[in-house]
C-alpha cells in the first residue's frame, strides 16, 4: 500500500509543481511598469500607450481563430466596453495577435463588435508582454503599472477582472 501511495505521489509531482510554477511565457508581471509601445488606433492613425497615462487601461491580446478568445470577447463587449466606454478614466485595446486590418475588421463587423479591435501584425506589441498563449489581459493603473494580468479564459477569472475594474472605476 505504501508503495502505491509513493508511486502516485511521484506521478502527481510534476502536475503539482507545474500548477504552482509561474507562467514561463509571461514577460510582464503584476507590479511591473508596462512596456511602452506605439500602435494603430485606426487605419493610418498611430498613437502610443503613453498618451493614455492617467487612465485605467485594459489590454486584451486575442486572435480571431482562438476558441477561448471567442468565449471571452462577447463578455468584454457586454460587461466592460458597454459599461465603461464613456468613462474618461478608462481605455480598452483589443489587439489581434499577429493579425492585420484585413483580418480584424471583417471579424469585428461579422460579430457586430463596437469595442476597439486593433491589429498587432508581427506580434510587435504582444512580444513585449508574453511569449505565447492567448487570450491574455493586462490592466494598467493610471501610471502605467500592471495591476492585473490573466492568461486564458475562465468565468471565475473574468469575474476577478470585472471586480477590479468596478473598484478602480467607481
What is the per-residue pLDDT for 23? 86
What is the per-residue pLDDT for 3? 54
| Residue-range definition of the domain harbouring residue 132 | 26-168
What is the C-alpha to C-alpha distance for residues 87 and 33, in angstroms, rounded to an integer?
23
- Under DSSP, the state recorded for 125 is T
126 in a structural domain = yes
Residue 68 grid cell = 477561448
Determine how β-strand 117-120 pairs with β-strand 136-140. Answer: unpaired
Is 4 a residue whose pLDDT tops 80? no
Query: For the segment 111-151, what is each residue's pLDDT rounded down to a tens digit?
Result: 999 999 999 999 999 999 999 999 999 999 999 999 999 99
102 in a structural domain = yes
What is the C-alpha to C-alpha distance for residues 59 and 169, in angstroms, rounded to an integer?
16
**CATH at residue 38:** 3.40.30.10
Say how many domains are in the chain. 1
Nearest to 168 by CA among 146, 135, 136: 146
106 in a structural domain = yes
What is the per-residue pLDDT for 103? 97
Query: For the segment 134-144, what is each residue's pLDDT rounded down to a tens digit?
Result: 999 999 999 99
Alpha-carbon torsion, ordered 74, 79, 105, 45, to 10 deg: -160
53 in a structural domain = yes
Query: For the segment 60-107, what is each residue's pLDDT rounded down to a tens digit?
Result: 999 999 999 999 999 999 999 999 999 999 999 999 999 999 999 999
18 in a structural domain = no
25: pLDDT confidence band, cut at 50, 70 and 90? confident
Q: How far is CA 104 from CA 61, 62, 119, in A?
A: 12, 10, 6
Determine how β-strand 90-97 pairs with β-strand 117-120. Answer: parallel
Amino acid at each position: 500500500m505504501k508503495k502505491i501511495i509513493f508511486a502516485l505521489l511521484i506521478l502527481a509531482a510534476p502536475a503539482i509543481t507545474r500548477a504552482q510554477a509561474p507562467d514561463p511565457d509571461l514577460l510582464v508581471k503584476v507590479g511591473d511598469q508596462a512596456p511602452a509601445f506605439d500602435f494603430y488606433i485606426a487605419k493610418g492613425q498611430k498613437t502610443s500607450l503613453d498618451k493614455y497615462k492617467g487612465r485605467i487601461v485594459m489590454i486584451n491580446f486575442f486572435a480571431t481563430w482562438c476558441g477561448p478568445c471567442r468565449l471571452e470577447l462577447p463578455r468584454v463587449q457586454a460587461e466592460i466596453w458597454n459599461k465603461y466606454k464613456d468613462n474618461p478614466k478608462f481605455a480598452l485595446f483589443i489587439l489581434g495577435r499577429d493579425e492585420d486590418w484585413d483580418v480584424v475588421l471583417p471579424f469585428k463587423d461579422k460579430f457586430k463588435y463596437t469595442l476597439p479591435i486593433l491589429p498587432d501584425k508581427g506580434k510587435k506589441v504582444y512580444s513585449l508582454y508574453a511569449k505565447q498563449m492567448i487570450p491574455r489581459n493586462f490592466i494598467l493603473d493610471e501610471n502605467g503599472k500592471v495591476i492585473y494580468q490573466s492568461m486564458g479564459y475562465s468565468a471565475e477569472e473574468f469575474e476577478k477582472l470585472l471586480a477590479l475594474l468596478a473598484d478602480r472605476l467607481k
